């Protein structure tokens, strides 16, 4: 059942890639397990889906305690500063670096623990007030400041599109994130190669792939919305 769903989605990923002449292997999937309990999350790992995405620290840490010896863990939600110490050394990626105070806390804690964190800078491309993220106008300055922090590896940019029934509506937002990536790359800073774009969710992952996503974050389309607590 889950395997069937994944096969169907994988086909869609391959087709979307081919529509724009991309290699489907460039597309990495984070399975968003926030709707799932430990047992169901284990099924995801058993299926070979290795990248687990969680958006709430408490739930995330409970699951990590049970399953953290497997998979690669991505924190995708808003992260409170006081939780940074819990995420480090457990989660490999943060998709939601959205303010400098958070970056400073990561730098401080990671240094002390002699570790580092791979971060996506979250950009609020849509400008929605309910969404966090750096505004496109502030992105360059923010990125240059974060690039100075040795314990943060900026791996790319992330955005969340507004909810929509028509994914074509959000295509311009994905395109803009890619444009922002290009602008940062043109600064030619060694810490700002920003190779990745984390964009696209259940509603719009095919459009995101067409626009250059290298990480897509899939929840409901893959796992349904069982026991959602958000």
> Binding residues for ligand PLP, per CB under 6 A?
32, 34, 55, 76-77, 160, 201-203, 217-221
Nearer to ligand PLP, 17 or 203 (CB): 203
Residue nearest ligand PLP by beta-carbon distance? 219
* Residue 158: strand pairing partners: 122, 198
Q: How far is the CB of 113 from ligand PLP (least distance, A)?
A: 25
Rounded to whole angstroms, the Cα distance separating 164 from 37 reads 27
Q: Which residues contact 107 (CB under 8 A, 6 or more apart)?
A: 149, 150, 151, 152
Q: Which is nearer to ligand PLP, 189 or 224 (CB)?
A: 224
Three-class secondary structure of residue 117 per DSSP:
strand
To ligand PLP, the closest distance from the beta carbon of 188 in angstroms equals: 30
Q: Name which of 9 and 146 has its Cβ closer to ligand PLP.
A: 9
Provide, rounded to whole angstroms, the least separation between the CB of residue 112 and ligand PLP: 28
Comparison of 110 and 160: residue with beta carbon closer to ligand PLP: 160
Q: How far is the CB of 99 from ligand PLP (least distance, A)?
A: 16
Vertex 45 angle, CA 44 and 51, to 5° = 95
If we measure between CA atoms, which residue out of 98, 181, 174, 82 comes closest to residue 142? 98
Closest CA relative to residue 123, chosen from 163, 161, 157 = 157
Instruction: For Cα atoms 58, 62, 68, give the angle at the middle one, nearest 5 degrees.
Output: 125
Task: Give the residue with the Cβ less far from ligand PLP, 56 or 108.
Answer: 56
Considering Cα of 160, then 29, then 56, then 81, what sign does the dihedral take? negative
Please report how close the Cβ of residue 215 comes to ligand PLP at its closest, in angstroms.
10
CB closer to ligand PLP, 34 vs 83? 34
Residue 160: CB minimum distance to ligand PLP, A: 6
Q: CA dihedral in degrees (73, 22, 223, 177; nearest 10)?
A: 70
């Amino acid at each position: 059942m889950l395997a069937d769903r994944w096969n169907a989605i994988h086909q869609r990923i391959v087709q979307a890639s081919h529509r724009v002449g991309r290699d489907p292997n460039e597309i990495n999937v984070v399975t968003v397990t926030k709707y799932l309990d430990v047992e169901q999350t284990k099924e995801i790992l058993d299926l070979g889906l290795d990248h687990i995405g969680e958006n709430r620290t408490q739930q995330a840490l409970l699951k990590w305690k049970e399953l953290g010896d497997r998979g690669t863990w991505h924190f995708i939600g808003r992260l409170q500063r006081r939780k940074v110490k819990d995420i480090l050394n457990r989660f490999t990626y943060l998709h939601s670096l959205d303010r400098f105070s958070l970056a400073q806390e990561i730098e401080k804690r990671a240094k002390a623990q002699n570790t580092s964190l791979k971060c996506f800078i979250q950009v609020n491309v849509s400008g929605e007030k309910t969404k966090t993220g750096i505004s496109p106008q502030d992105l360059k300055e923010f990125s240059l400041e974060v690039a100075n922090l040795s314990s943060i590896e900026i791996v790319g940019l992330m955005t969340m599109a507004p909810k929509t029934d028509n994914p074509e509506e959000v295509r311009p937002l994905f395109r803009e994130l890619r444009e922002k990536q290009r602008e940062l790359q043109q600064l030619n800073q060694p810490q700002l190669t920003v190779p990745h774009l984390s964009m696209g969710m259940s509603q719009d992952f095919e459009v995101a792939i067409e626009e250059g996503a290298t990480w897509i974050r899939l929840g409901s389309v893959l796992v349904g919305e069982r026991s959602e607590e958000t």
